[in-house]
């Protein structure tokens, strides 16, 4: 088995692009296994689902068996494609366990530095976890795949700024599964060093989405805007450089961590500013029916009149509500020639990401995907997971 060496130097680490780890004291290096891509596939886990609650008559309640192995052959979350081979998937729990050992804390990767909204989302999703900052979204995905951390919590969409397209692309590129979602109310603050007043500021730093969410407020203040990778990183930069003419848009927790003064709270243009985060793991969870579930899929279609209508109709026919649809270019084949030889034109080829309100334990959801599989050129279930009904 091939191995890679990683140096762990501090409990509070930042993971960078290729999984290296930094900071102060150096401990003895340890070996992280690099598992081969041709690892065995795991068999379907969903022959039957058991509910732990007892009925009034004392008998155990057993939900209806779900034949997902028939739908996705040898894996419940398989990649089904007419044109391409199967993508590699995580190892089965029969070979490796990603559960936390007794007494240890779940390690959860997020993008950004301390004080980022993603850190708050990770702590909401997994209370008492050890939140591990990563400099880029890619590094968070890789940290889970390489067993450096147990989970990742990453943003996928915001109620004001829209979708985070990068993470949609990474969901397809990597083999992780969505095992949950968490929604976080975002409350932006205008931060500056102590002694600096609003009228002293000439510019403000923050993440592009945060700047867009505060556009009206910042325009009224006459401040120029400069984008930076992360809201908390903007606060850290202003504090460490002791800037007097520059502020940052970030969270109140970032102000406490980096010793900044809060000049104004709730500077976002809309009070209903919510970011939805995905909880990612190496293996899928077993979907249930005892509470609301959501399922996320990605698929592609042949070009033709009404093809997308047919794809969406498989859900409407079964009274399944769609909560999200997003299209992204198919990167390996962005342009495809028309089948009409007399036309000679080319068109854009797309992947469609869809979220729908149903569990893969439900027969109607299984039937909908069987139906979609009949004419989709590619289909992959990204995860079936509980809906987050809470809000901070």
Query: pLDDT by residue (tens digit) across 295-338?
Result: 999 999 988 889 999 999 999 999 999 999 999 988 666 455 55
Is residue 156's pLDDT more than 50? Answer: yes
Q: What is the mean pLDDT of residues 82-105?
A: 39
Give the other-Cβ count within 10 Å of 149's Cβ: 23
Residue 113 has pLDDT above 70, yes or no: yes
pLDDT at residue 85 tops 60: no
Work out the widest C-alpha separation in the chain, in whole angstroms: 72
Q: Which residue has the tokens 């939900």?
A: 63
Q: State the chain's mean pLDDT as an integer.
A: 77
Q: Is the four-CA dihedral 163, 166, 167, 169 of positive or negative sign?
A: positive
* For residues 81-102, average pLDDT: 35
State CA 63 to chain mean position distance. Answer: 29
At 24, the pLDDT band (50, 70, 90 cuts) reads: very low
Contact call for residues 220 and 269 (beta carbons, < 8 A) = no
Euclidean distance between CA atoms 352 and 375, whole angstroms: 14
DSSP per-residue string spanning 111-133: ESSTT-HHHHHHHHHSTT-EEEE
Which pLDDT belongs to residue 392? 45
Other CB atoms within a 10 A radius of the CB of residue 290 amount to 14
Q: How wide is the angle at C-alpha 357 spanned by C-alphas 389 and 378, nearest 5°? A: 130
Q: Is the pLDDT of residue 227 over 50?
A: yes
Across the range 223-240, mean pLDDT stands at 95
Q: Are the C-beta atoms of residues 24 and 10 closer than 8 Å to each other? A: yes
**Does residue 132 carry a pLDDT above 50?**
yes
Residue 169, pLDDT above cutoff 80: yes
Q: Which residues are catalytic?
A: 275, 277
| % the chain with pLDDT above 90 | 60
Beta-carbon neighbour count of residue 170 at 10 Å?
Answer: 19
Residue 287: name the closest of 72, 60, 56, 91 by CA: 72
Q: What is the pLDDT of residues 350-381, one digit of tens each?
A: 899 999 999 999 999 999 999 999 999 999 99
Instruction: Give the pLDDT score at 333.
Output: 61
Highest mean pLDDT (candidates 89-93, 164-168, 321-325)? 321-325
Q: Give mean pLDDT, residues 165-175.
A: 93
Residues of the chain with pLDDT > 70, as a percent, come to 69
pLDDT at 240 over 90: yes
- Rounded to whole angstroms, how far apart are CA atoms 78 and 382? 9
pLDDT in tens, 253-294: 999 999 999 999 999 988 889 999 999 999 999 999 999 999
CB 131 within 8 A of CB 15: no
Look at residue 65 and tell me whether its pLDDT is greater than 80: no
- pLDDT number for residue 272: 87
What's this model's pTM, rounded to 2 decimal places?
Answer: 0.71
With a cut of 70, say whether residue 30 has pLDDT above it: no
Residues 16-21, mean pLDDT to the nearest whole number: 38
Cβ count within 10 A of residue 17? 11
Instruction: Answer with the residue of higher pLDDT: 179 or 50.
Output: 179
How high is the pLDDT of residue 388? 93
Q: Please, which pLDDT band fits residue 137 given cuts at 50, 70 and 90?
A: very high
Q: Which domains does the chain have, with CATH numbers?
A: 107-185 (3.40.190.10), 188-271 (3.40.190.10), 285-386 (3.30.70.260)
Q: What is the pLDDT of residue 172?
A: 92
Residue 359 to residues 50, 152, 290, Cα–Cα distance (Å): 15, 22, 10
Confidence of residue 390 (pLDDT cuts 50, 70, 90): confident
In the prediction, which pLDDT does 29 show?
Answer: 34
Quick one: pLDDT band at residue 347, thresholds 50, 70, 90? low
pLDDT at 340: 54
Q: How many CB atoms neighbour CB 23 within 10 A?
A: 13
pLDDT for residue 330? 81
Residues 233-254, mean pLDDT to the nearest whole number: 96
More confident residue, 247 or 84: 247
């Amino acid at each position: 088995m091939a191995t890679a060496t990683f140096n762990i130097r501090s409990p509070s680490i930042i993971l960078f692009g290729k999984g290296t780890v930094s900071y102060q004291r150096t401990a003895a290096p340890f070996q992280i296994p690099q598992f081969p891509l041709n690892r065995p596939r795991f068999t379907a886990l969903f022959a039957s689902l058991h509910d732990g609650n007892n009925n009034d008559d004392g008998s155990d309640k057993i939900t209806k068996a779900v034949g997902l192995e028939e739908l996705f052959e040898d894996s419940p979350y398989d990649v089904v494609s007419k044109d391409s081979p199967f993508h590699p998937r995580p190892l089965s729990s029969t070979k490796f366990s990603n559960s936390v050992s007794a007494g240890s804390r779940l390690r959860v990767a997020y993008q950004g530095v301390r004080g980022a909204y993603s850190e708050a989302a990770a702590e909401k999703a997994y209370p008492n976890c050890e939140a591990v900052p990563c400099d880029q979204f890619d590094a968070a995905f890789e940290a889970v795949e390489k067993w450096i951390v147990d989970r990742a919590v990453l943003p996928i969409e915001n109620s004001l700024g829209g979708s985070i397209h990068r993470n949609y692309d990474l969901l397809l590129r990597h083999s992780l599964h969505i095992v949950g979602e968490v929604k976080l109310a975002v409350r932006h603050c205008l931060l500056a060093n102590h002694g600096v007043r609003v009228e002293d500021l000439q510019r403000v730093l923050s993440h592009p989405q945060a700047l867009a969410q505060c556009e009206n407020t910042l325009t009224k203040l006459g401040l120029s805007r400069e984008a930076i990778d992360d809201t908390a990183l903007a606060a850290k930069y202003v504090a460490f450089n002791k800037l007097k003419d520059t502020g940052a848009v970030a969270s109140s927790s970032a102000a406490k961590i980096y010793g900044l003064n809060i000049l104004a709270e709730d500077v976002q243009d809309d009070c209903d500013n919510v970011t939805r985060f995905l909880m990612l793991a190496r293996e899928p969870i077993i979907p249930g029916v005892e509470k609301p579930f959501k399922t996320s899929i990605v698929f592609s279609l042949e070009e033709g009149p009404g093809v997308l209508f047919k794809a969406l109709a498989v859900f409407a026919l079964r009274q399944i509500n769609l909560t999200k649809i997003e299209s992204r270019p198919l990167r390996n084949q962005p342009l495809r020639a028309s089948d009409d030889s007399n036309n000679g034109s080319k068109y854009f080829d797309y992947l469609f990401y869809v979220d729908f309100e149903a569990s893969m334990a439900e027969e109607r959801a299984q039937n909908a995907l069987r139906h979609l599989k009949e004419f989709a050129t590619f289909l992959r279930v990204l995860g079936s997971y509980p809906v987050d009904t809470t809000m901070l």
